[in-house]
Structure 1
Amino acid sequence: MVTMRDQSCHSQWYSLVELTPFLGILLDRKSHEIGVGVTDGISFWLIDANLHIWLDPNSDITSAKVVNQVKETSISRDYSSQSLNGTFEIKAGRTSYFSGWVNSSFGNLTTYVSNENEFNSLVKFTNNGNKKYVLMNTNQNRLVKISSGEQGDGIISQETYESKYPIQVITKTVPGENDTYTLITSLSHSLYEKQHCESGNEVHASYLIDKQEADGWMLAQDHSVLSGSASTWQRYEYGDEDSVYSRVVQVKDGVILSDNVTEGSALRHFSW
């Protein structure tokens, strides 16, 4: 398994890539190079990755085979502009399906992996460029299923994972007296994750919410800031079948206005 993280300053997106279906390629006693990148991205986009390997302590030699590989990628762009106003939109999607079997001390196991990724980005300028909108959203859906035999007849375990990463930035410039102007900005970004695992008679479900909303303004003249104010509201919540933990913090101009922690004993119904 490979975990990838975007190291760009504006994003902390990460993803998991399951390599088990490709053991039929990797177990040929040859050197292999595994690389990650951003499709249709800039050449210096910063990404790092970690490779996680699980060894079978009861098997010295094994065999494997890739059964199926399907990849589809789509990208569309739409833009329009007039004077200092305009709209720029990008939509992208990627779907992949992989499956492969491997012989181990646990028997012949087939791993099936499906990934669906969607990305939307909208940048909009209005009021002669004085008001700007940036809206982005990334959706991920992943299914990992382990079955017995080369044909994958009986399901042994199954894991589903869903995530959303929306971000919204709105800025506007308001002219004032004596060559002053006020710059107003609001920011909202979130991380939503939901996971469900089944293995035999065991079931595990969990969710994670990390959401932040911030607003601020500053009064400026030429390139000097005369005054300003900023506030932040943040919510972190994690829950599983055993407990729920929630914390909400509110800050204004560097002063903590409230910090509330709530803990429960059971996973409540969760939906986006």
Structure 2
Amino acid sequence: MLPKRFTRRGLVCAGLSFVFAGSAFNAAAVTDPIGSTNVTVADPTVPRPPGTPCVVQLFSGLTFTDFNTRPYTYTPPTGCGTHWAKVVLEADFSVTVGRQYDRTATLWLGGVNLYFGTTQEPSAAVAPSWHVERDLTDYSALLRQAGNGQAVIGNVVNSTYTGVIGGSARLLFYPASPGAPAAKAPDAIYPLGSDAVGNTVALGNSDSQLAKALSLPRNVERAYLDVFVQSQNADEFWYTCVPDQYAAQVQECGGGNFREAEVSIDGQPAGVAPVYPWIYTGGIDPYLWRPTPGVQTLNFMPYRVDLTPFAGVLSDGAPHQVAVSVAGANNYFSATASLLVYLDPHLKQVSGQIERNTLVDQPPTPTISDSLVTDASGNITGDINTELSRHFIIQGYANTSHGRVHTKVEQTVSFADTQGFTINATTYRQVSDQLTSVDSVSQSSVGAFVIGRYSEQLSYPLHLDFTQQVAADGSFALATVVHQNYAKHGQHQLFDITLYSADVNNTVDSADTLYFDASGHLTSHTGQHSAQAFAFSDSLGGCYRRNVTAQSGVVTGYASGSGCRNNQNSVSWFSHPDGSPDSGNAVLGW
């Protein structure tokens, strides 16, 4: 039977009320990257409205060589008003040639997260650089006030780890105009973290919480929580771990492979946020992710939890604890969350209560089964299965200036994972097939009339095939095949009429084989190839398609717009082709 595998950590170092007033946004042309070894992704940038933006530079030319934060000050722009059509964060990062781990990168303002992602690992010959964007229109209330922020990229630079990370970031504010009205953004933003400038909180186990007692305005009519939970340390490869009772037998990390973020209000379950199996650029085999990293690796998307059924409760004037935990956390997850609230402009006091909450009696406890067989020689074959599916309804009402509004959030959240093992004297193979899925409907009613409905389906498939083969001389090969996907469908309805729907699909496939001598030293690698396909379409005719292929660390194929009208990408400026969240009930136009 093989010894525990070589470390996988790294072998080297707005609202829709104006949808029909918008115009199409033609994605900017990109220089043909074929032949490049630099970071190349198929992801879309954030589409922009017409007009010239005001630009606020957050920082420029910073370097990250230690674990100290890099503070900056923020002042709102002048000359673009205070209610913008769109706000976009742009950030550019790079790392010098040499050896360096991937690092977690976050940007903050007033305790609120503006960006969350990781960095690209360099090589001895390639100093990668990359660009990220985030739609921050829903954070406009935060950005109307001056404040303090900081960039956090903890990094070690010494004689061994030589890569110096650099970065710059700015905010672009697009002024409102007749063709691009001011967004119907939340009226207030509240971070859950305790750091007044901003930082993540480590959740070491299932009982750990990111929590804050908030005293909110007394006229909350809608509320949403943007959640990020990022696996770290022993939890980085949580998707390959097995329940503790199997860990020694199959030579894997323990703690199981079910992870899910749980949201609560005053200790009562209030929602669920699925955990995406992000793989960082040093993960499993670093060559897999050069030059194209995994799905969202450099730029995470938050998951938005609809807490509107609790609007009446949150408006009662008392402090309420809003908390996030990670079921299954096993040292540890970095977490941050921001509460976005819409206020009733015509009423000083909203009242209401929760009418139904079936999530209360459904703890996040998966079912475990196995078909493992150990023969007389100690060879192991078989599967370990982990499953959990919960259907729940959370319903509440709020007495608003529009009348008594009943909001029902109905979701089915499912997790299914099968890990197949083949372990003998010359082979260690683990094949993981995991699927997290969410089917969600948020519905608002006044009396018998359904006045707003937002449905969303999410799918996070992950396939990982890892095979270690040992030769007679003790040398060995590690072959890895990875398939990742992020799929999202959203649909907005008003009075049972579909106003808008959109689909996002992001897929990355990559493979590589590493070779080691009998002493465990890396000698070579071969067969590296990868492909990313990104597709977006919506009911207004918006279309975005981009495909990237690479071989041996070099971009070999690049196609943009193929399959769209006139073979050109064209999306509406208010759309979310990157998969970033929007507030479904913004369609109400309140």
Q: TM-score, normalised by structure 1?
A: 0.89
Q: Paired residue for 1:36? A: 324
Runs of 5+ in structure 1 lacking a partner?
A: 268-272
- Which of 375, 380, 395 does residue 99 from structure 1 map onto? 395
Percent of pairs identical after alignment? Answer: 18
Matched residues in 2 for 1:14 and 1:189: separation?
A: 18
Which digits, 9 at most, give the CA deviation of each residue in 1:19-53, with x for residues without a partner? 11112322221111111122344363333222111
Matched residues in 2 for 1:228 and 1:59: separation?
A: 66
- Which of 247, 253, 257 does residue 556 from structure 2 map onto? 257
Say whether 1:231 aligns with 2:540. Answer: no
Give the secondary-structure state (helix, strand or coil) at the position aligned to 2:345. Answer: coil
- Which of 54, 58, 62 does residue 350 from structure 2 map onto? 62
Q: Paired residue for 2:439? A: 141
Matched residues in 1 for 2:417 and 2:500: separation?
A: 34
Structure 1 stretches (4+) deviating beyond 6 angstroms?
Answer: none
Q: Paired residue for 2:415? A: 119
Offset, 1:14: 5.1
**Residues 124 and 110 of structure 1: is their aligned pair in 2 closer, same or farther, counting only changes over 3 Å?**
same
Q: What residue identity is the alignment partner of 1:261?
A: S
Which digits, 9 at most, give the CA deviation of each residue in 1:106-152, with x for residues without a partner? 22211111111000122221142521111211010110111113xxx
Say whether 1:89 aligns with 2:385. Answer: yes
Give the secondary-structure state (helix, strand or coil) at the position aligned to 1:130. Answer: strand
Contact 2:315 2:349 (8 Å CA) reproduced: no
Q: Paired residue for 2:470? A: 175
Say whether 1:156 aligns with 2:451. Answer: yes
Q: Paired residue for 2:303? A: 15
Q: TM-score, normalised by structure 2?
A: 0.42
Matched residues in 1 for 2:369 and 2:514: separation?
A: 33
Offset, 1:202: 5.4
Higher strand share: 1
Offset, 1:172: 1.3
Contact 1:84 1:125 (8 Å CA) reproduced: no
Q: What residue identity is the alignment partner of 1:227?
A: S
The alignment yields a C-alpha RMSD, in angstroms, of 2.2
Q: Paired residue for 1:26? A: 314
Give the secondary-structure state (helix, strand or coil) at the position aligned to 2:440. Answer: strand
> Higher mean Cα deviation, 193-202 or 5-14?
5-14
Q: Paired residue for 2:513? A: 217
Matched residues in 2 for 1:255 and 1:65: separation?
A: 57
Contact 2:549 2:555 (8 Å CA) reproduced: yes
Q: What residue identity is the alignment partner of 1:95?
A: H
Offset, 1:157: 1.2
Runs of 5+ in structure 2 lacking a partner?
A: 1-223, 238-276, 279-300, 572-590
